[in-house]
Amino acid sequence: MSDAISPLEATAVRACELAGRRSLDAFRDGRPDGDYREGDVTTALDADCERRIVSTIREAFPDDAVLAEERGRVGGDAAREWVVDPLDGTNNVAAGVPTFAHAVCVRDDGGPLLAVVHEPLPGDTYAAARGEGATVNGDPISTGTHLPLAQATVALVPGYGALADHAEALDDIRAALDGGTKRVLESWAPCVDWGLLARGAIEAVVTFHPDVWEQPAGSLLAREAGAAVYETGPLGVFAADDATREAVRETLPDTLR
């Protein structure tokens, strides 16, 4: 990425960091108020973070469309759309687990154009622009840990659709990865996983029926950091290098690849 920060990136960073200040305070205060269901959690914190992000975007780019997790679409048809994951890892915040993030992705007719992911606790802000590479806190990053699969950590990122409607296939994927890798990571905060891959800390991210809220930002971050990618239907493999991608593919059930 160039040294100059574009207005799009500056706005996305400002929006995510505003939300991050709010979530950090809430995390330190204890369990937030919300709807604690068996399969998921929705808190007032999600809506509060979303208001901060969306209002920042709308103030800077009133003609752009916004697609936000809590309120849906804001604005009409536009050449650019901002996809907002206001709080990635709500279950973690609710449980006191220190793994959560905020994410924004700008996309146009060519797909994801800009991605920003902010992790409040470590204070890390990832950014990626199409064709310009990826950074964390302004420093260039890349994938490529080059560990063999048997020593690798692979993040498994199922969408809510996978959890609800494809549990058996998801179990097969989990078992296959568990048998072929050192560790299968399920953080319940996919954007954190994408950042770990982009900076070379883990070897791969496997997605299955991914959700729209974090996938555009995460996939652009991974691609711009140099990830080797394989996607077919609901399955995605984003790996540190070509060899790792193929090793992960060969580990997965034949019916899914």
Per-residue pLDDT of the chain (257 residues; tens, 9 = 90+): 446 789 999 999 999 999 999 999 999 987 777 666 665 677 889 999 999 999 999 999 999 999 999 899 988 889 999 999 999 999 899 889 999 999 999 999 999 999 999 999 999 999 999 999 999 999 999 998 889 999 999 999 999 889 889 999 999 999 999 999 999 999 999 999 999 999 999 999 999 999 999 999 999 999 999 999 999 999 999 999 999 999 999 999 887 87
Q: Within 10 A of 137 (CB to CB), how many other CB atoms are there?
A: 11
Determine the Cα–Cα distance for residues 56 and 89; give it in Å rounded to an integer: 21
Q: Where are the domains of the chain?
A: 7-140, 149-256
Is the separation of the CB atoms in 189 and 97 below 8 Å?
no
The pLDDT of residue 31 is: 74
Residue 116 in contact with residue 13, Cβ under 8 Å?
A: yes
pTM tops 0.85: yes
The whole-number pLDDT of residue 38 equals: 60
Predicted pLDDT of residue 36: 65
Contacts of 135 (CB under 8 A, 6+ apart): 1, 126, 127, 128, 141
pLDDT at site 243: 95
The whole-number pLDDT of residue 40 equals 66
CATH topology of 7-140 equal to that of 149-256? no
Fold of 149-256: D-Maltodextrin-Binding Protein; domain 2 (3.40.190)
Give all strands (DSSP E) within the chain, no chain letters. 34-36, 41-43, 65-68, 72-74, 81-88, 101-108, 111-119, 124-129, 133-136, 139-140, 153-158, 183-185, 204-208, 228-232, 235-239
Topology of the domain covering 7-140: Fructose-1,6-Bisphosphatase; Chain A, domain 1 (3.30.540)
Tokens representing residue 66 in the block: 């916004």
- What pLDDT, on a 0 to 100 scale, did the predictor assign at position 34? 64
Q: Distance between CA 14 and CA 8 in Å, rounded?
A: 10
